[in-house]
Amino acid sequence: MQSFIVEHYLNKAVDVYCGGPDVFKGTIEACADNVLTLNKEGKLTHIAIDRIIAMWAQ
């Protein structure tokens, strides 16, 4: 999944769903070592790739 994210979504705004009520939003800054890094208004969110259920462009 890491290579797919880098190839198709790097530097793009996305929503990431990991289950439950939360959806993480931001621009993908990096994807390495099985961790996805989102940037939203200067705040970074790090998500374990194996927890991602769905992702879509904003």
Q: How far is CA 43 from CA 3, 32, 39, 46, 54, in A?
A: 24, 18, 6, 10, 21
pTM recorded for the entire structure:
0.92
In tens, the pLDDT along 10-54 reads 999 999 999 999 899 999 999 999 999 999 999 999 999 999 999
Q: What is the pLDDT of residue 20?
A: 94
Distance of alpha carbon 38 from alpha carbon 30, whole angstroms = 7
Q: What is the pLDDT of residue 7?
A: 95
Distance of alpha carbon 49 from alpha carbon 31, whole angstroms = 9
Q: What is the pLDDT of residue 46?
A: 98
Q: What is the pLDDT of residue 6?
A: 95
